[in-house]
Each structure stands twice: as structure tokens, then as C-alpha cells.
């Protein structure tokens, strides 16, 4: 069992490594997919933007030009405009529907980009490169199939939400008024248990439908109903949820580690920029620079969006460090830095060049990696079972000296020859993509079946003499 799990991790890692072997094509495809999906969502939302603008302008014009002038000059809504907006239920309802439809457009189009990305990754697994221009950007039968899968997946995900709402209604009925439950402790226990059950059920349902979009890679996708494709995903994940989590979790940890390392380097750079700014302020005008606490408060904290709890945290840090008048204390700056980030001012004051560098590095190196992990797990679950596992990267499973074809796989007869040369028990493959794992018991030699000898040819019968 552990051998199969270890090989699964190797397969996923090998498939992820394919992304970096196709680094430029991978990122070019990502950029093209993002641009196409974003522009498509924007074009589809133009009528909704126009309707929302007409509603708002009509409402403002009804209040007179002074309200619009105050809105432009001060940037705040006049009280009479706010009262009119809140009292006009039809206007607020129409505006909310427009906003909801615009949001749905962007979510749907960006979700379709998820399928387009899996098509590119599938080509890497097959040893090819899907042309950037030949993806299913505007393949309308696939778009309709995707919309059906999205609808059924959302319907299945609504099941735990509906159960949670029913549970809340029952709990409210039992606790309000002359309800049965009056103990706060029992109510708290029920709420905690219910929350855990809801979260667990939702996660399980999300895992069961997570492969629905990858079923669109099958050859018969256009002939199969969307609901059946979603049910294929659910059947594939059924009984394998612990295995999926066990395969997925190590790569989440690795990606999170590298992402956190990159973020730590960025934070270090930002802190150094802030320290340089404070020291420059001291050199520019020593009389204007009171101390480092006042400098941080004036430049980054005061007037910005911090909650009362966050402001209390800032006050506690100020009390924990002594104020310096000759510069800024690096330890104090590192302690107060998270609150500077929360205030939303870091992006305005940090080095924009470094911000762009770290943003591009994070996007180019890590964005989309977990989608390949999903796709690799989909193939492992689909093509394996009962001790069989797909050979995605033979050099990691068969051996470092295994020969590789143009498609990234090795024929079964070549693997058998390589295995015989090394005299090491290797997984045998039924075809170019499937290997059967049969672990040998320790201490027992592998029995070789003797070759059957071909029977000797019988001598031809002598012809009988003519009587």
C-alpha cells in the first residue's frame, strides 16, 4: 500500500515537473487564457454595465445637478441621495441583479479558463504541446457542456448548504421563545457539532465533484449528458477521499512553503524600504521628525482602514517598544509591519519595481501548479485500481537509465529488457501507460517460468508400396 502511495506521489511530482519543462509555453498559455476569459466576461457584461449606469444616472438626475456635483467634488454620497437610494426598492433590486449577473459572468468565464488550462496540461502529459491558438476558447458545444457541468456541480454543492439552513431553522425554533433548549452550553455544543458536520460534508461533496471539469477531456464528452459527467467524477472519488487528501496534501504544503518563502523575501524588502524612508526623513529635517512611533502613525496608520481591534494591537506594540528620535527601530518596524499591510498603504509606499517582480515570480512559478496535481490525481484514480498505476514519468519509476520516447513514455518491451538487465524487480506494464505493481515478498526469489520446448517434427510417413 505504501509503495503504491509513494509511486502516486512520484507520478504527480513528475507531471508537475512537466510544467517547468514547458515553462515558456505554459506561461504563454496561461496569459492567453486569462486575457480571453477576462475580455469575454467584460464584453458579456457591457450591457449590464450600461443598464447600471443608466439607473444610477437617472436617479442622480432626478435629485438635481447639485447632488451630482457634490458627489464628484467630495467623493461622498449626499444624505438626500442615500435616502432616495435606500427608499427606492425597485432601483436597489435592479442594481443588485445587475451586480449579481456581472459577478456571475466573470466567475463563469474564469471557471471556463480552468477547463482550458486542463486541456493544455493534458497535452503535456501526452507528450505534446497544445497550440495557444487551438484551445477551445470559443468551441460553443464545449461551452454549453461546461455550463451544464457547472450547473450540476453547483446543485450538488448546494445540498450541504440546504441542510445547514434547515438545521439553523430547527435550532432557532428549539431555542427561541418557549423552546425546548434553554441551556447555553447544550446550544453551543449543538452549534459546534453542526458546524463540523456541515464543513466536513461540504468538503467531501467538493472533493467528489472536483474532477467534473476533467471529465470534459474524455472523447465521448459531447455525447454524454452533463449530469452523467458529474456523476462520473463522484463515482471516481467515492471511496477514495482519504487517498485523494493524502496525495494532495504534500503538494499543498510544498507550494505553500515556497510561496511563504517568496513572501518573506518580499516582506524583508518592504521593511528595508520603510526603514530607508524613515532614516531619510530624519536626515531631511530632524526637527520635523519626532520619533519612529509618530512617523509610522502619521504615514501609515492614521486615517486608514484599521478595525478597533487592530488599532488596539498597534497601541500595544507602541507600548512594548521605546520611541527613537534618531531613526527607526528595526525590531519595532518588523513588529508593526503586519498592521501597515492591513492598513492598505504598503502598496502605495513600497518599491513598485520589487512589487512587480515578486508578483510576476509568484504568477509564473506557482500559479496553476495545483491544477496539474488535480489532473494527475484524476488520471491515477481513473487508470489505476487494484494495484495498477499509470507510468507518467518512467525515469522516476523504472530507473534513471530507462529510454524515453518522444511522447514521454516507454514501450512495454523496452521496460522489460531494461528490467532484465538490472536484475531488479520492476513494475511490469500492460501497455505504454499502465504498470502493474506486484510487490514481492522479502527473502523469496522470483521464479522464472521455463520456456516450453517446441516438439520435434515427426518424420514423414513412408509411402506404402503399391499392391
- Over residues 287-301, the pLDDT tens digits come to 666 777 777 777 776
SS3 312: helix
Give which of 53, 63, 64 is closest to 95, Cα–Cα: 53
| Distance between first and last Cα of the chain | 76
Please tell me the pTM assigned to this model: 0.68
Per-residue CA distances from 409 to 314, 403, 434 (Å): 58, 9, 10
Cα–Cα distance, 274 to 339 (Å, whole number):
13
Cα Rg, the chain, nearest whole Å? 32
In terms of Cβ atoms closer than 10 Å to its own Cβ (0-12, 13-18, 19+), residue 328 is: buried
Cα–Cα distance, 382 to 244 (Å, whole number):
12
Element of type H or E holding 4: helix 2-21
Sheet holding 388-390, edge to edge: 388-390, 434-436, 428-429
Residue 236 near residue 382 (C-beta atoms within 8 A): yes
Least confident window among 197-211, 276-290, 313-327, 411-425: 411-425
Q: Kindly state the average pLDDT of the residues 419-427.
A: 41
Q: Kindly state the average pLDDT of the residues 72-91.
A: 62
Q: Kindly state the average pLDDT of the residues 97-112.
A: 92
Residue 30 near residue 368 (C-beta atoms within 8 A): yes
Q: Kindly state the average pLDDT of the residues 296-309.
A: 70
Confidence of residue 147 (pLDDT cuts 50, 70, 90): very high
Q: What is the pLDDT of residue 436?
A: 41
Cα–Cα distance, 332 to 306 (Å, whole number):
19
SS3 190: helix
What nine digits make up the cell of 362?
509568484
- Provide the β-strand partners of residue 389: 435
> Helical H runs in 321-351?
330-342, 346-349
SS3 344: coil
Q: What angle do CA 270, 273, 277 make, to 5 degrees?
A: 140
Q: pLDDT tens across 410-422, in order?
A: 333 433 344 444 4
Cα–Cα distance, 355 to 318 (Å, whole number):
28
Residue 40 near residue 409 (C-beta atoms within 8 A): no
Give which of 410, 420, 335, 359 is closest to 127, Cα–Cα: 410
What are the φ and ψ backbone dihedral angles of 288, each rounded to 5 degrees? -75, -25
pLDDT at 189 over 50: yes
Over the chain, what is the mean pLDDT? 75
pLDDT at 46 over 90: yes
Give which of 436, 434, 426, 431 is closest to 411, Cα–Cα: 431
Least confident window among 101-105, 124-128, 273-277: 273-277
Q: pLDDT tens across 122-139, in order?
A: 999 988 899 999 899 999
Eight-class DSSP state of 301:
I
CA dihedral 244, 124, 107, 44 (to 10 degrees): -160
Least confident window among 158-172, 193-207, 208-222, 379-393: 379-393
Q: pLDDT tens across 155-181, in order?
A: 999 999 999 899 888 888 777 766 666
pLDDT at 246 over 70: yes
Amino acid at each position: 500500500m505504501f509503495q503504491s502511495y509513494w509511486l502516486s506521489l512520484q507520478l504527480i511530482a513528475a507531471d508537475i515537473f512537466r510544467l517547468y519543462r514547458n515553462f515558456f509555453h505554459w506561461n504563454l498559455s496561461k496569459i492567453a487564457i486569462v486575457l480571453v476569459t477576462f475580455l469575454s466576461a467584460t464584453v458579456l457584461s457591457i450591457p449590464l454595465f450600461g443598464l447600471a449606469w443608466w439607473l444610477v444616472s437617472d436617479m442622480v438626475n432626478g435629485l438635481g445637478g447639485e447632488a451630482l456635483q457634490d458627489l464628484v467634488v467630495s467623493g461622498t454620497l449626499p444624505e438626500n441621495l442615500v435616502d432616495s437610494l435606500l427608499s427606492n426598492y425597485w432601483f436597489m433590486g435592479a442594481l443588485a441583479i445587475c451586480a449579481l449577473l456581472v459577478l456571475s459572468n466573470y466567475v463563469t468565464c474564469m471557471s471556463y479558463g480552468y477547463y482550458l488550462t486542463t486541456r493544455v496540461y493534458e497535452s503535456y502529459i501526452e507528450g505534446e504541446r497544445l497550440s495557444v491558438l487551438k484551445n477551445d476558447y470559443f468551441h460553443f458545444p464545449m461551452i454549453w457542456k461546461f455550463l451544464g457541468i457547472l450547473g450540476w456541480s453547483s446543485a450538488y454543492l448546494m445540498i450541504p448548504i440546504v441542510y445547514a439552513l434547515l438545521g439553523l431553522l430547527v435550532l432557532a425554533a428549539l431555542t427561541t421563545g418557549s423552546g425546548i433548549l434553554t441551556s447555553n452550553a447544550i446550544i453551543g455544543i449543538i452549534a459546534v457539532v453542526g458546524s463540523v458536520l456541515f464543513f466536513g460534508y461540504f468538503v467531501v461533496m467538493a472533493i467528489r465533484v472536483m474532477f467534473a471539469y476533467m471529465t470534459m477531456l474524455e472523447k465521448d464528452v459531447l455525447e454524454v449528458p452533463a449530469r452523467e459527467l458529474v456523476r462520473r467524477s463522484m463515482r471516481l472519488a467515492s471511496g477514495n477521499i482519504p487517498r485523494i487528501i493524502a496525495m494532495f496534501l504534500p503538494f499543498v504544503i510544498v507550494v505553500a512553503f515556497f510561496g511563504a518563502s517568496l513572501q518573506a523575501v518580499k516582506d524583508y524588502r518592504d521593511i528595508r524600504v520603510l526603514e530607508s524612508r524613515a532614516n531619510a526623513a530624519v536626515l531631511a529635517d530632524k526637527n520635523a521628525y519626532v520619533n519612529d512611533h509618530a512617523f509610522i502613525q502619521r504615514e501609515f496608520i492614521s486615517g486608514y482602514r484599521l478595525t478597533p481591534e487592530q488599532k488596539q494591537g498597534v497601541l500595544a506594540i507602541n507600548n512594548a517598544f521605546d520611541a527613537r528620535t534618531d531613526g527607526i527601530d528595526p525590531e519595532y518596524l518588523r513588529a508593526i509591519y503586519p498592521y501597515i499591510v492591513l492598513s492598505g498603504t504598503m502598496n502605495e509606499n513600497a518599491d513598485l519595481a520589487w512589487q512587480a517582480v515578486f508578483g510576476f515570480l509568484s504568477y509564473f512559478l506557482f500559479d496553476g501548479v495545483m491544477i496539474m496535481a488535480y489532473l494527475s490525481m484524476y488520471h491515477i484514480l481513473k487508470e489505476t485500481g487494484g494495484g495498477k498505476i499509470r507510468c507518467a514519468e518512467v525515469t522516476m519509476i523504472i530507473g534513471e537509465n530507462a529510454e524515453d520516447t518522444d511522447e514521454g513514455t516507454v514501450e512495454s518491451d523496452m521496460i522489460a529488457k531494461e528490467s532484465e538487465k538490472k536484475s531488479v524487480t520492476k513494475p511490469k506494464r500492460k501497455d505504454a501507460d499502465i504498470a502493474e505493481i506486484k510487490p514481492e515478498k522479502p527473502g523469496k526469489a522470483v521464479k522464472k517460468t521455463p520456456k516450453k520446448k517446441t516438439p520435434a517434427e515427426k518424420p514423414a510417413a513412408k509411402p506404402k508400396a503399391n499392391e
